[in-house]
Structures are given as C-alpha cells and as structure tokens.
Amino acid sequence: MNIFTRLQTIDRRVLYLLIALVITVPLLVRPGRHPRVKFNEVRNAYKTISNVPKDKLVIISITWGPGTTAENGPQTEVMMRHLFQRGVKFAVVSWDQAGNELSYEIGKKLEKEMGKKYGVDWVHLGYRVYYPQVVFRGMAQNFQKVMEYDKFHTPLSKLPAVSGVKTSKDIGAVIEITPSGTLELWIAYFNGPYRIPLIYCPTAVMAAEAYPYIDSGQINGMLNGVIGAAQYEALIGMQNAKTDAAATSWALSAAHIFIILLIVVGNLGYLATKRAARGGNGGGR
Amino acid sequence: MGQSLHHIWTWLAMPRHGLALAVFIIGALGIGALFLGILCSVPARFRKGIVMAVTFIGGLYLSLEFLVPYKNVHTGKYPLTEVMPTVANLEIVIGCFALLLGIWNLFQIHGKTLMKFGKDWYNSAIFFLTFFSIAILGFLRDKGVHGTPEMFSILFSGFLLSLQSTTFSLIAFYIVSAAYRAFRIRSAEAGFMMVAATIIMLALVPVGALLTAWLPETGFLSAFRLERIGYWILTSPNMAAQRAIAFGVAVGALATGLRIWLSLERGSFFDRQL
C-alpha cells in the first residue's frame, strides 16, 4: 500500500481518538479569551435585550435537552445573566422534560451568584406539553389563565415577577433557545401578530435556516450556536472570563481545523491516486 | 343561557385541593371513559363521521380566529380570540393524553417481552425499573421527602443527562469519519461545496478571524477577511436557497394541512375500521 492509498484509508479508530483529543484539550485548558469578532445578529440581540423596558417580562422558551447542552446551555446562561444584570424580569418555560430541570439549574446557579430572588426577579413555569400554536395565542390573550402556575404549582398571582403580566402587551421579548425548527411557530402565532421582539438561539447547524427571517426583520437577533453565546458574553463584559462558551468556542476551532485537514489529506491522496492510475494507463487519452 | 354556561365553566375551572381534587380527577376520567365507550359502540360509519366533524370544527375555529379577526362593535373585542385561552388549555389536556398514550404503548411492548422472557427481556426489566424509580423519586422530591433530591439527582444528572449527552456527542465522531471518507472533489460542484464549507467552518470559529486578522478592517481588502466572506455566503447564496426551501415547504404544509382538515388524508386511521 503506497502513501497515497494510506492517506485515504486512515483507520477510523485513529480518527476517533484524535478528534476526542482535539476537543478535550481546549475544554480542559479552558482558555478565557473570547472571540474578537461579533456577528451583526449577536450585536442586534444584545441591543434588543438592552432596550426591553424594565416593567416588561421576557419569556425564555426552552426546547432543548441534554443532547445539545454544550450549545444551548451557554446560550441560556448568557441570556439569563444579561437579564439579571439589567434587572429585567423573566419567565422560563420549557417544552422539553429534561430541559425543564437543566434550565432551572442554570437559573438557580445565576440567582445565587448575582444575588437575585426566585419569584421576584425570575420564575420558572416548568414543563409544558408541546402544543405551542394554540398555547402561544392563548398566552398572548390571557397569560395568567394559560400559564396559571409555576414549576412548583405556586399560582402566578403570588409571584411578583409575573403577577402583573396579563396579555402580550406586558411581554417585552421572547428568547427561543432550541436545537429544532420551532422558529416559524413563534413568528406566526406570537411575535408576528403581537409585534414582540424575538431573539433566536439555535444550535449552529440550525442557524443557516434563520437568515431569511433576520433579513425580513422577523427575528431581531440571533445567537449562532455556542459561538454566538461566547460573542454575547464578550458584549456583556465577560471577554476574559473562563466560561464554558469560551472554552467550547476554542474546542470547536480546533475540531474544525482538524476536520479541514482531514478533508485536505483525503483529497490529496485521492488526487494522487487518480493521477497515478492515469499514468499507469499511459497518461490517459 | 350564556351566563349560565359561564357560571358552570367557572365552577368547573375553580382550583381544588385534597379530596375534592381527587373526586374531580376520578370523575373526569370516568366521563372520559364513558364518552370513549359510547364512541366505540357507535357503528363505524358514524364514528368516522364524528371524527371528521370534530377535526373540521377544530380546524375551522383555528383558521377563522387567525384569518378573520371579527370585532364585536358593541364590546370592541374579538369573540373568537376571547375564547383562545380556554382552547389553549383544552389542547394542553389533549397533549397530556398523548403522553399517556406513549407511556401505555411502552408498557404494552415491554410488558409482553418481560412476561414471555423474550429476546433481550432484561432491557424491558430495566425500562420498568428506571421508569418507576425516577417517577416515584420525582414525586417524593416534589413532596419534600428527606434524601430524595439527592437520589433523584443521581438518576437524572448521573444517568439520564449523561446518557443522552453521550448518545448525541457520538455524532462528532461520525461526522469526522464521514467528512474524511466521503468529501472527495470528484466534480466542479463538489469543489465549490468544499470551498464554501471550508470558509464557513473557519468563519464561524474564533480561529478563522485570527487567520485573516492581518487584513485591514475597513476598505476594499477587508472584504477578503474570512469572517466577511463567510457572512456573505450565509446572507446571500444561503439565504436565497433557504427562502426557496421555505416557500416549497410552506406550500407542501398548506396542502397537507388542508388534506388533514378536510379528512382527505389516506392512511392513518381513516382507511381502517374504527
């Protein structure tokens, strides 16, 4: 087997070991340096949240679970952190059973770190069965009647953060954090009809689909995967903090470069083998 | 008449606790079972008609509410939209029944395997063990029973979250292997795709910006910075393609929605004896 054939047939176990190393090392080293470049959609998300009036509620919609924690977790954390920093009240609602617990843990961690209080500065509305179209419309008409209780079955009327929220007019923005295509539902049934700003936080693989909606103004800002979260962290003054988002953005950098190198190596082998085969056949026609 | 209905609804929707709540839950389940029993005893051709009528009325309400917001001149309100919160609650309840259906289905499949000691019966045993332990511990934790939060955390964070994250993260290994083996420049189109993919992969991560950081931030040459080229690919060619896909999907969804609403859809339960 010559070198060109070998370049095309690296054992997959070697590849698995290498990618594990490439991803793990930055996550263990945890560099604090955040991306220098900030995408326009991330800046717009920051501006949108910065402009939400303090007497209005922000809804954080959670559709993610453990599978995408690496991307959606830092997004959730940075959005909650910014809202806590600004003193804007927010309500988290989860459409995923596991995301229900995960988002609550993130909220509790930040609440402790930033000296906030559950029920006063934020609430968690718990897990809701995923039938959003009608729920969105109902929530816009009568928030108290459709949501009724928080995660612990406390009536919303007893929680100062949300007791005054009656209709869509009391909602300042929606932040949709998701690994799936739930964006159109918010646009069609909530943010579009009631003119409420929408921030979209998808996994990077879903972000490409959202650009037409950014262009049309139906999305006010977007955090493009964990890189978007890292850029947002830099915008709220955490440019040198050793966060999960920063570490992951460097792990992704290393992984992307590794994949590109593998593609190049594979193609070099492929082209060389092709050329050798032509040479063996008398240089082709 | 309207007021009486309103009173009945208010009485039904009142929050209840303890024995009253238990009586209401059992009563609701009994009425539900009675309704299903009556529906099952109706001849098949009428039953199909009932399902079709309910589907049509449900779809009609949602379409009219969304498309024709009729405003009452006396009250200044939208009558159809006014009842939307109630419809939303009804739909949440129906959604919960779908959850029950899923659980029932899992119980049937794993129960049969376990009873017969069929192939991989131990997986079914593990299903029942984990299902009941996490459910019971979750209820006990919510009731504030001492020690249960820690045990629940072991099951939830230690097992469920780790297993789901591990399963999903396996994709990274397959992507690497697939990209290396399948991404060959066999044609001009494949070459274009590889160049675009490489630029996007670099543009979206911090290292991409570092690679072309030597280029000026403004002026003509700034257009050649990797993050700018990547952004152009995402916001121009990608956006055009995404719009075309979105239009196609929307037309397809409209056609499918109409077929379901008017009960024209073949397959599912309409072709079978109900």
B200-245 pLDDT tens trace: 999 888 888 888 888 888 888 888 999 899 999 999 999 999 999 9
Distance, CA of B198 to CA of A258 (rounded, Å) = 11
Query: Residues of chain A with pLDDT > 90: what percent?
Result: 59
Distance, CA of B215 to CA of B209 (rounded, Å) = 10
> Rounded mean pLDDT of chain B?
85
Q: Which stretches in chain B have pLDDT values below 70?
A: 1-2, 69-71, 266-274
Which among A134, A157, A184, A248 is the top mutation candidate for probing chain B, defined by the most B β-carbons within 10 Å of its own β-carbon?
Answer: A134
CA A73, A79, A80, A85 dihedral sign is positive
Q: What does the domain layout of chain A look like in residue ranges? A: 3-26+250-280, 34-239
Distance, CA of A56 to CA of A59 (rounded, Å) = 10
Q: Which of B134, B74, B257 is nearest to A133 (CA)?
A: B257
Contact list in B for residue A212 (CB cut-off 8 A) is 239, 242-243, 246
Beta bridge partners of A198: A174
Distance, CA of B58 to CA of A208 (rounded, Å) = 34
Contact A133, B257 (CB under 8 A): no
pLDDT at A283 over 50: no
Q: Is B180 helix (H, G, I), strand (E, B) or coil?
A: helix
Q: Which two tokens stand for residue A21?
A: 């190393």
| A58 pLDDT tier (thresholds 50, 70, 90) | very high
What chain B residue is nearest to A250 in terms of C-alpha separation? B206
Q: Which of A232, A179, A234 is nearest to A207 (CA)?
A: A179
Contact list in B for residue A209 (CB cut-off 8 A) is 242, 245-246
Distance, CA of A224 to CA of A42 (rounded, Å) = 8
Contact list in B for residue A205 (CB cut-off 8 A) is none
Could you write out the DSSP letters of every residue in A99-145? HHHHHHHHHHHHHHHHT--BTTTEEEEEE--S-HHHHHHHHHH-HHH
Q: How far is A15 from chain B (nearest CA, A)?
A: 7
Model confidence over A19-46: pLDDT tens digits? 999 999 999 988 878 888 888 999 999 9
- Which CATH entry fits the domain spanning A34-239: 3.30.160, 3.30.70, 3.40.50, 1.10.940? 3.40.50
Contact list in B for residue A130 (CB cut-off 8 A) is 95
Contact list in B for residue A271 (CB cut-off 8 A) is 185
Length, in residues, of chain B: 274
pLDDT at residue B181, rounded to an integer: 84
pLDDT at A182 over 80: no
Q: Which single residue is written with the structure tokens 């209840």?
A: B16
| Burial of residue A197 (number of CB atoms within 10 Å: 0-12, 13-18, 19+) | buried
| Burial of residue B265 (number of CB atoms within 10 Å: 0-12, 13-18, 19+) | middle
Model confidence over A233-248: pLDDT tens digits? 999 999 888 999 999 9
What chain A residue is nearest to B191 in terms of C-alpha separation? A267
Contact list in B for residue A249 (CB cut-off 8 A) is 205-206
Q: How far is B168 from chain A (nearest CA, A)?
A: 5
Q: Which single residue is written with the structure tokens 């082209």?
A: A271
Length, in residues, of chain A: 285
> Rounded mean pLDDT of chain A?
89
Q: How far is B165 from chain A (nearest CA, A)?
A: 4
pLDDT at residue B274, rounded to an integer: 46
Q: Which two tokens stand for residue B251?
A: 């037309």
Does the CB of A195 have a partner CB in chain B at under 8 Å?
no
Distance, CA of A110 to CA of A64 (rounded, Å) = 19
pLDDT at residue B13, rounded to an integer: 74
Does the CB of A19 have a partner CB in chain B at under 8 Å?
yes
What chain A residue is nearest to B233 in terms of C-alpha separation? A208
Closest partner residue to B165 (CB to CB) among A69, A146, A259 is A69
Q: Is A153 helix (H, G, I), strand (E, B) or coil?
A: coil
Q: Do A263 and B198 touch (CB under 8 A)?
A: yes
Q: What does the domain layout of chain B look like in residue ranges? A: 83-182
Q: How far is B125 from chain A (nearest CA, A)?
A: 23
**b/e map of B205-220 (b: 16 or more CB within 10 Å)?**
bbbbbeebeeeeeeee
Model confidence over B46-63: pLDDT tens digits? 888 888 898 899 899 888
Does the CB of B233 have a partner CB in chain A at under 8 Å?
no
One-letter amino acid identity for B212?
T
